[in-house]
Amino acid sequence: MQAVKKIEIITNSLELQKVLQILDDAGVSGYTIIEDVTGKGHRGRVIDDLESHALTNAYVITICDEEKEHQVVEAIRPIIKKYGGVCIVSDAQSIVH
């Protein structure tokens, strides 16, 4: 097992490509995306009953080392601040293959 940082990001779908570019720029090797995420936050409810994809959210999960985690968090912070969303970082263990 290897100690890693798990990063979970919920962001507006319009900002998804920026988030993925941040992960790529930081050298994060992979991620999983779940699109059309619904829920409720401090900005109210997010629903997916509209035909436009613009008002939906996406969920991105990845793991990385601590150095990359700091780089990702600092680059994600302005997006979360401006457009809303969530970025959660936690300690995790990865099974090394």
pLDDT tens-digit readout, 19-74:
999 999 999 999 999 998 887 766 666 555 555 555 689 999 999 999 999 999 99
Check pLDDT > 70 for residue 2.
Answer: yes
Quick one: pLDDT at residue 5?
A: 97
pTM of the full predicted structure?
0.84
Domain count, the chain: 1
Is the CB of residue 31 less than 8 Å from the CB of residue 20? yes
Domain assignment of residue 65, given as a range: 2-94
Q: Output the domain CATH number for residue 89.
A: 3.30.70.120
Backbone angles phi, psi at 14, to 5 degrees: -65, -25
Distance CA 33, CA 58 (A): 7
Q: Name the band, by pLDDT with cuts 50, 70 and 90, for residue 83.
A: confident
List, as own/partner pairs, every contact residues 50-57 make where C-beta atoms lie below 8 angstroms and the sequence separation is at least 24, other chains included: 53/13, 54/13, 54/14, 55/12, 55/13, 56/12, 56/13, 57/10, 57/11, 57/12, 57/13, 57/85
Which pLDDT score, from 0 to 100, does residue 65 have? 94
CB within 8 A of 29, min separation 6: which ones? 64
